Amino acid sequence: MGTFQNTDKQKQAYRYFVMGLTAREIAKLTELSNRTIERYISLGDWKRPTDTRSLEVKVLELVQSGKSYSEASKILGVSKTTIYNYLKRQRAKE
């Protein structure tokens, strides 16, 4: 097998991995195969950090990164209404 290269897709996949997404979710978002993502995780020895961020912060980060309310709700396992409510509260704070 060749050397393990750090491509833009791999960097993007790693960012999603650190956010807590599963290999299947990352594969869909990056348009790579599930097996490719699993290989990245294995060969790159990726470790999930302990995530102490609140759900509200995760929602904000996903939406700011360009995800729609629907995509964010699927990733986080909450309803679109929950996404909307978190963002509404965030806007009120600003």
On the CB side of 62, how many CA atoms lie within 13 Å of its CA?
A: 31
SS3 content of the chain, % helix, strand, coil (to 5): 65, 0, 35
- Give the tokens for residue 62: 């996903």
Distance CA 5, CA 2 (A): 9
Distance CA 91, CA 28 (A): 30
Distance CA 60, CA 66 (A): 10
pLDDT at res. 2: 44
Q: What is the pLDDT along the chain (94 residues), one digit of tens a residue?
A: 444 566 888 989 998 998 888 899 999 999 999 999 999 999 888 887 766 678 888 899 999 999 999 999 988 888 999 999 989 988 888 7
